[in-house]
Amino acid sequence: MELRNISKGFPGVIANRDISMSVERGTIHAIVGENGAGKSTLMKTLYGLHRPDSGTVAVHGQVVDFRSPSDAIEAGIGMVHQHFMLADNLTVLENIILGAEPAKAGVINAREAGRKIAELAKSLGVEIDVNSPVAELGVGQRQRVEILKVLYRGAKTLILDEPTAVLVPQEVDELFDNLRRLVAAGTTVLFISHKLDEVLAVSNRITVIRQGTTVGTVTPAEVTRRQLAEMMVGSDLPQPAPRTTQVREQVRLEVKNLTVARVGQRDLVRDVSLAVRSGEILGVAGVEGNGQFELCSALLGREHSTGTVAIDGNDVSRASVRERMNAGLAYVPFDRQREGLMLTSSLWENNLLGQEEKFTKFGFVNVGAARAACRTVIKRFGVLTPSEEVPAFALSGGNQQKLVVGRTMSMNPAVLLAAHPTRGIDVGAQAAVWEEVRQARDAGLAVLLVSADLDELLGLSDRVIVMFEGAIVAELLPREATPELLGTYMTGAKVGS
Amino acid sequence: MKLSRRARLLVLFAVPIALMSIVRLWSGEDGLTSSDTIGASLRLSVPILLAGLAGLWAERCGVLNIGIEGMMIFGTWFGGWGAWQFGPWLGLAFAVLGGMLGGLIHAIATVRFNVDQIISGVVLNLLAFFGVRYMSDLAFVGQPGGGVSQSPPQTSAIPRFDVPFISGGDLFGWKSPNVLLSLEDSGWFFIGDLAGILYGLTNNLSWGTVIGVAAVPATFWILWRTRLGLRLRSSGESPTAAETLGVNVIRLRYVGLLVSGGLAGYAGGILAIVASSYYRQGQTAGRGYIGLATMIFGNWRPIGVLGGASLFGYTEGVKLVANDAISTLFLFVALAAVLLAVMAVVNRTTTRGIVAVFVSVIAAYAYLAIEDVPQSLTQSLPYLATLIVLATASQRLRPPAMAGVPYRRGESH
Amino acid sequence: MAKNRNVIDALPRPVVTLLSSLVAILLALGICGLLLLVTGKDPIAAYRTILETGLTGNKLLEMLKRSTPLMLSASAVAIGFKMNLFNIGVEGQYLFAALIAAEFASRISAPPVLHVLLTLMVASAAGAFWASIAAMLKVTRGINEVISTIMLNFISLSVMQWLFDNYMRDDSDGGLRVTTTEIAPSGQVPDIVDGRLNGVWLVALFVVFCYWLIVFRSKFGFRLRSSGLNSSAAQTSGIAANRMIVVAMLLSGAIAGLVAMQSVVGEEYAYGPQATPTGFGFAGIAVALLGRNHPVGIVAAAMLFGFLDSTSAVLQLSGIPNSIVKVIQAVVVLTVVIVNEATARYMNRRTAEQTAAALRADKVGA
């Protein structure tokens, strides 16, 4: 497969420009780049989800023009998306054969389909029950369904978009085994990632993308991790600066025996007790989906839970979200678009959300003051926008995040729940957000920091706890926590003290 | 108590009939299980059933359909007009086409232009209601027996038949015995009631009704056994995934809505051609909405819809044929609640037991205290039943994941 | 084409909105013209009749009068829409309220202004009560309000019939009157223009003003709209979803309760199954959609519908079925929701582009 001078723009931004690379048959070819470097845009071009503005794609020397994914499928290209493209209420079999059903006069031949899937599963080295609904499968199994789905269509080239993001290390190893098996059988794998160790471990060749364009192609033998990282970022890696501890005596957030139960499921949060002191940042590590979200929701008062929560010594276990906020709790949500923003509303209205009490006179909103407050946030957090009148959807993801963080910080909280506070924002802004959090901490803020970015977690936190299947399985100091050690705890392979 | 699946189904089927039999013998009121009541219930169930299936087809492909009522209105008008002009069979065909017209409008608004699906449905209902008035103005005003709110009566009807051997139907000119009727007349415990129910379901059947009921297995077979069905359901479960696999979600939603409209139109046609012999304004009487409730109650599955529609049809049937027997329904509820209470004691589920006892006492009191329920209040029975059913059943439902969410090609991801 | 887009690009947002609505109305008139033509009627003559008779003084007063229930009903619906609640039950709420308020007004005696005020309050309370059932079902049992309000419309009709037949019908006249007992003069609202425009019209305008004040300017309104735009974000920010649902539904029902008051305290001085007009609940949905839930839009849309309605009698006289008026209204709403959707998408893209352009210009400048 060969790409020549691919460019693709979206209103206001250029996602890809002048990308060229060639992929050899029967190899694992990695494409690495930072978040937002344009990897996913490129993959969508390859898969026919949109057409490039200029440039050509050639498969086996033939120039192709994909108008839809089915064209790509026809050319033997299959894609495993980062967010699984599976229908939860359909069975594994239905998900796999969808769009390529073996049928006679329109009636599906389920038996033949089942046999073919069983064969493919065998060649991949996995076991799966084709008749169970996808809703009942775990993450690793779902990914296997995705891969089977692509193979079922006879794909000779497999595109995997950030396949390891949701997997625990053991599952990653299994995945890599599966991929090596496939490549040995003549399949080509395009592997998109920003995790350099994995890329170095599994791929035959590596293409680096930065700011929408190709920087170069190397083999793992030629480069070190450090060199690759520099190619990716373009300059030195950002590292949270080392700091002196500011932890004081006063406990600001105290949680005892917090449990979130769901009927018919295992507990989402299991008997969690923790305390965060004034001036302390407590990091929460864990693979996504191990109860971090539910823990934050329960602390915020959105999720029903048992156990006690106290803020500055006041028991708020039965308090509403608003009462907890008044007691000093603030929250940077996991998903800014779902939980943080009203996309079609202006920035000042978004900034007002959650602090409308403060800007109300006789029951009516004081629009002037609300706008001024928003302008302050925009300035202090460097939100790139022409004015506070712009609707939130018009901003880039990073600037939306800055607004959400800014709004939260400007409430002057006593306790901050920050979930992925720097997700999706550029390096410069990341440093600015870290600095703000640090300053507030030094002024006495207590922070519960949930992050998937281990560098961020270890760099900012005074202590780190690890969550696995809803429970705290370890508590560590950043200096004793290596990424490797954290990884063992995060997978539940070991339970610490 | 562990029972096999088959045994449990048998119990679920037999116990209510036994209870009804007890009620009949106790009160001397045989309206609850008489073949007349059941026959009326069947006729009244079918439009609701088809409306429910119309909702199922629409939501399975990912589009909410509040506009079923409007599509049914189109069905009644076009059916009434077609049957008056060209005879009952072509009338039914016109009813289907009329409903499909409604489905097409809904599809254009929601699928092509991404209009909010509920809004589009509500507007469609308005459009249908006023549109057919205008057409009546043109087509029916001045005709003998016709007017702005009513079509002239039809002169012929869809043929009816009795099932041979069991319900006295003709077989090649030979009149077969009517076993069920004689059994019903015997009035024996259980057997008399069972025979009454079966006889109600098998005598004086209209072919229009039979075709309507056949839509249940047809829907199941198409949606769960064919390629089209799988693709259609995937459009409602995960349109993005479907699109990446080369499924044309937009086209399938058109297909789903056209089928939905056709079924709703047929439901309207039944009302105007089978259940009566003329089109009348307001003939649908909210059955489109009840159909939607049936779909929810039936957990978006054809068999479930059939069950829900039977329940609603039955309450209407009792109301229509045996209004006096309505108060005995309280007795039935009281007995059923006693039974549930006993089961709760066996299974040691205290809260459920208390609720059951409570319901039983209330129902028993109602049976003894209320002489006859005013006609004006029994009118609301099906609607009330809908709310009660939704209030008790809405927790364990599995709607299509993406029904109601507009889909635009290539926009997500 | 490109040139045209540049012209539109330069227009401010409200102008584009207004233009798109006008385009939708013209489109609807075109479609209905076609319908008339196909069915053998002369569309030009029909539209000319509508314009010529509609624009006379008396007809304009009738237009205002007819707009009264529409403005009220549309405001009731719009409050729900603003937080993604579909109150399809305005129909049942206002009819129920009309019966209760008429019965109440006929039974009490009070000084003139107070009598009317009390009646209106009872109407609002009754409307809110009926709406509260749907609110409670949604909050406690998770039942979608679309289904429940539709069911409650039917239940309302049968409960009312029962109440009316057994307890509230005026039987002083040997059963000839099919209404409640007539309200005493102290409880009647006088006309502004004799026989043409009733004082309740001013009440409706006032309610629309309050709708604007509450929804668009108050803290409560901000919370309401936030819940509608992103309920999850609103809850995360401490806005209690269930309480908002209940309050919004109660407010909606309270306004709905006033819909038939022009008839009850201004015209018939009683409630009657035949005397009290029906169908305004659904017409209100149409008006709210046409007016885009904005107070000015609602007033304008109610006027437009009132205008069309006022001409329907004359239309019949000139040989065109007056039912076409309702068809025009329904088609207008259909085209408006479609055109709105297309316009919104266009405006969003435009805003995104202009924002990006402004940022680029900033960068170059700096």
Examine residue C62 and state whether it is found in any structural domain, yes or no.
no
Nearest to C146 among B66, B134, B386 (CB): B66
Examine residue B392 and state whether it is found in any structural domain, yes or no.
no
Which among B406, B390, B398, B409 has a CA at the least distance from the CA of B120? B406
What are the chain C neighbours of B120 within 8 Å (beta carbons)?
337
pLDDT of residue A237: 45
Q: Smallest CA–CA separation between B268 and chain C, in Å? A: 19
Largest Cα–Cα separation, chain C: 88
Examine residue C50 and state whether it is found in any structural domain, yes or no.
no
- pLDDT tens, position by position, A202-259: 899 999 888 788 888 888 888 877 777 777 766 554 455 556 677 888 999 999 999 9
Is C232's Cβ below 8 Å from some Cβ in A? yes
Task: Give residue for tokens 């502004």.
Answer: C192
A395 contacts A403 by C-beta, under 8 angstroms:
yes
Is A39's Cβ below 8 Å from some Cβ in B? no
Q: Is the pLDDT of residue C233 over 90?
A: yes
pLDDT of residue B165: 76
Is C207's Cβ below 8 Å from some Cβ in A? no
Q: Kindly report the backbone phi and psi dihedral angles of residue B359, in degrees, each rounded to the nearest multiple of 5, phi listed first.
A: -60, -40
pLDDT of residue B82: 96
The separation between the first and the last C-alpha atoms of chain C, rounded to the nearest angstrom, is 34
Q: Is the pLDDT of residue C231 over 80?
A: yes
Q: What count of other Cβ atoms lies within 10 Å of the Cβ of residue A10?
A: 13
pLDDT of residue B52: 97
pLDDT of residue B2: 57
Identify from B59, B224, B245, B411 which residue to disrupt to test chain A contact, counting A C-beta atoms within 10 A and taking the largest count: B245
Is A103's Cβ below 8 Å from some Cβ in B? yes
Q: b/e map of B353-370 (b: 16 or more CB within 10 Å)?
A: beebbebbeebbebbeee
| Same-domain status, C245 and C341 | no
Examine residue B331 and state whether it is found in any structural domain, yes or no.
no
Residue range A435-460: mean pLDDT, rounded: 88
CATH number at residue B151: 1.10.3470
C292 contacts C17 by C-beta, under 8 angstroms:
yes
Provide the number of structural domains found in chain B: 1
Is C338's Cβ below 8 Å from some Cβ in B? yes
- Count CA within 13 A, CB hemisphere, residue C134: 33
- pLDDT tens, position by position, A259-289: 998 776 678 899 999 999 999 999 998 877 7
In this structure, what token pair is assigned to residue A237? 């890696």
Own/partner pairs, A124-127, CB within 8 angstroms, 24+ separation:
A124/A148, A124/A151, A124/A178, A124/A181, A124/A182, A125/A177, A125/A178, A125/A181, A126/A178
Residue range A416-444: mean pLDDT, rounded: 85
Query: Can you list the residues of chain B whose pLDDT is less than 50?
Result: 1, 412-413
Q: Is the pLDDT of residue A481 over 80?
A: no
- Count CA within 13 A, CB hemisphere, residue A381: 31
CB contact under 8 A, A69 and B398: no
Among chain A residues, the shortest Cα distance to B248 is held by A99
Residue range C292-301: mean pLDDT, rounded: 96
Is C31's Cβ below 8 Å from some Cβ in B? no
Q: Is A76 exposed, middle or buried (0-12, 13-18, 19+ CB in 10 A)?
A: middle
Band of residue C2 on the pLDDT scale cut at 50, 70, 90: very low
B311 contacts B296 by C-beta, under 8 angstroms:
no
What are the chain A neighbours of C230 within 8 Å (beta carbons)?
338, 341-343
Q: Smallest CA–CA separation between C84 and chain A, in Å? A: 13
Helices C90-107 and C241-256, axial angle in degrees (round to 10): 60
Residue A346 carries which DSSP code? B
pLDDT of residue A75: 86
What are the chain A neighbours of C350 within 8 Å (beta carbons)?
none
C10 contacts C326 by C-beta, under 8 angstroms:
no
SS3 A310: strand
Residue range A121-149: mean pLDDT, rounded: 87
What are the chain B neighbours of A106 within 8 Å (beta carbons)?
226-228
| Same-domain status, C215 and C302 | yes
Give the separation between CA A23 and CA A45, rounded to whole angstroms: 15
Identify from B60, B244, B408, B413 which residue to disrupt to test chain A contact, counting A C-beta atoms within 10 A and taking the largest count: B244
Give the separation between CA C121 and CA A84, rounded to whole angstroms: 55
Q: b/e map of B385-395 (b: 16 or more CB within 10 Å)?
A: bbbebbeeebe
Nearest to A87 among B225, B226, B238 (CB): B238
Between the alpha carbon of residue C22 and those of residues A185, B103, C47, C301, the distances in Å are 64, 27, 16, 11
CB contact under 8 A, C236 and A364: no
Task: Give residue for tokens 């038939």.
Answer: C260
**Torsion sign, CA atoms C227, A425, A252, A370:** negative
Examine residue C228 and state whether it is found in any structural domain, yes or no.
yes
Which residues are registered as beta bridge partners of B177?
none
Which residues are registered as beta bridge partners of A6?
A19
pLDDT of residue A255: 96
Task: Give residue for tokens 């407590």.
Answer: A282
Helices B302-321 and B35-60, axial angle in degrees (round to 10): 140
- pLDDT tens, position by position, A88-104: 899 999 999 998 899 88
Average pLDDT, chain A: 86
Chain B positions touching chain A (beta carbons under 8 Å): 225-228, 230-231, 233-234, 237-238, 240-247, 398, 400-401, 410, 413
- pLDDT tens, position by position, C62-102: 999 999 999 999 999 999 999 999 999 999 999 999 999 99
The reply to whether A2-233 and A251-490 are identical in fold is: yes
Task: Give residue for tokens 């009035």.
Answer: B187
Examine residue C55 and state whether it is found in any structural domain, yes or no.
no
Q: Smallest CA–CA separation between B31 and chain A, in Å? A: 42
Q: Kindly report the backbone phi and psi dihedral angles of residue A418, in degrees, each rounded to the nearest multiple of 5, phi listed first.
A: -115, 115
CB contact under 8 A, B401 and A107: no
Q: Is the pLDDT of residue A198 over 90?
A: no
Between the alpha carbon of residue A487 and those of residues A193, B283, C118, the distances in Å are 18, 67, 70
Contacts of A206 (CB under 8 A, 6+ apart): A29, A30, A31, A32, A199, A200, A217, A218, A219, A220, A223, A228
- pLDDT tens, position by position, A11-57: 545 678 888 888 888 899 998 876 667 777 888 888 887 888 888 88
Is C237's Cβ below 8 Å from some Cβ in A? yes
- pLDDT tens, position by position, B16-26: 888 888 888 88
Strands annotated E in A196-327:
205-210, 213-218, 251-260, 269-277, 281-285, 306-311, 314-315
Examine residue B93 and state whether it is found in any structural domain, yes or no.
yes
pLDDT of residue A11: 54
Q: Which domain holds residue B72?
A: 34-162+204-321
Examine residue C49 and state whether it is found in any structural domain, yes or no.
no
Q: Where are the domains of chain A?
A: 2-233, 251-490
In this structure, what token pair is assigned to residue C77? 């619906």
Give the separation between CA A359 and CA A371, rounded to whole angstroms: 10
Q: Is the pLDDT of residue C119 over 80?
A: yes
Examine residue B353 and state whether it is found in any structural domain, yes or no.
no
- Count CA within 13 A, CB hemisphere, residue A480: 9
- Percent helix, strand, coil in chain C (nearest 5)? 75, 0, 20
| Same-domain status, C309 and C328 | no
Q: b/e map of C72-105 (b: 16 or more CB within 10 Å)?
A: bbbbbbbbbbbbbbbbbbbbbbbbbbbbbbbbbb
pLDDT of residue A213: 84
What are the chain B neighbours of C142 within 8 Å (beta carbons)?
394-395
| Same-domain status, C260 and C329 | no
SS3 C275: coil
**Minimum mean pLDDT range among A429-443, B314-328, C153-167:** B314-328
Nearest to A321 among C219, C238, C358 (CB): C238
pLDDT of residue C365: 46
**Minimum mean pLDDT range among A219-233, B187-201, C46-60, C153-167:** A219-233
Nearest to C218 among A12, A300, A364 (CB): A364
**Minimum mean pLDDT range among A422-431, A433-442, B39-48, B152-161:** A422-431
| Same-domain status, C305 and C338 | no
Q: Is the pLDDT of residue C1 over 50?
A: no
Examine residue C61 and state whether it is found in any structural domain, yes or no.
no
Residue range C197-214: mean pLDDT, rounded: 96
Give the separation between CA A39 and CA A79, rounded to whole angstroms: 13
Provide the number of structural domains found in chain C: 2
Nearest to B130 among C155, C285, C327 (CB): C327
Domain boundary among C275, C296, C313: C313
- Residue count (chain C): 366
CB contact under 8 A, A390 and C355: yes
Three state DSSP letters for C231-270: HHHHHHCCCCHHHHHHHHHHHHHHHHCCCCHHHHHHCCCC
SS3 C191: strand
What are the chain C neighbours of B281 within 8 Å (beta carbons)?
none
Task: Give residue for tokens 């097409």.
Answer: B104
Q: How many CB pairs under 8 A join A and B?
A: 80
Examine residue B13 and state whether it is found in any structural domain, yes or no.
no
SS3 A130: coil
Examine residue C59 and state whether it is found in any structural domain, yes or no.
no
Q: What count of other Cβ atoms lies within 10 Å of the Cβ of residue B348?
A: 8
CATH number at residue C222: 1.10.3470
Q: Which domain holds residue C286?
A: 67-313
Contacts of C324 (CB under 8 A, 6+ apart): B134, C32, C35, C36, C41, C46, C315
pLDDT of residue B245: 82
What are the chain B neighbours of C88 within 8 Å (beta carbons)?
66, 122
CB contact under 8 A, B125 and C282: yes
pLDDT of residue A234: 65
Give the separation between CA A5 and CA A19, rounded to whole angstroms: 5
Residue type, A471: A
CATH of domain A251-490: 3.40.50.300
| Same-domain status, C329 and C308 | no
Residue B129 is inside which H or E element, if any?
helix B117-139
Q: b/e map of B156-183 (b: 16 or more CB within 10 Å)?
A: ebbeeebbbebbbbeeeeeeeebebbeb
Q: Is the pLDDT of residue C366 over 50?
A: no
- pLDDT tens, position by position, A317-337: 999 999 999 999 999 998 888
Examine residue B355 and state whether it is found in any structural domain, yes or no.
no
| Same-domain status, C73 and C184 | yes
**Torsion sign, CA atoms C198, C203, C204, C209:** positive
In this structure, what token pair is assigned to residue C242? 């269930």
Whole-prediction pTM value? 0.88
Give the separation between CA A24 and CA A203, rounded to whole angstroms: 12
- pLDDT tens, position by position, C239-290: 998 999 999 999 999 999 999 999 999 999 999 999 999 999 999 999 999 9
Highest mean pLDDT (candidates B333-342, C21-30, C168-177): C21-30
Q: How many CB pairs under 8 A join A and C?
A: 98
Among chain B residues, the shortest Cα distance to C41 is held by B138
- Planar angle of CA B302, B306, B309, nearest 5 degrees: 130
Task: Give residue for tokens 């019949």.
Answer: C316
pLDDT of residue A35: 62
Between the alpha carbon of residue C142 and those of residues B312, C254, C264, the distances in Å are 22, 22, 35
CATH of domain A2-233: 3.40.50.300
Give the separation between CA C231 and CA C287, rounded to whole angstroms: 25
Contacts of C111 (CB under 8 A, 6+ apart): C186
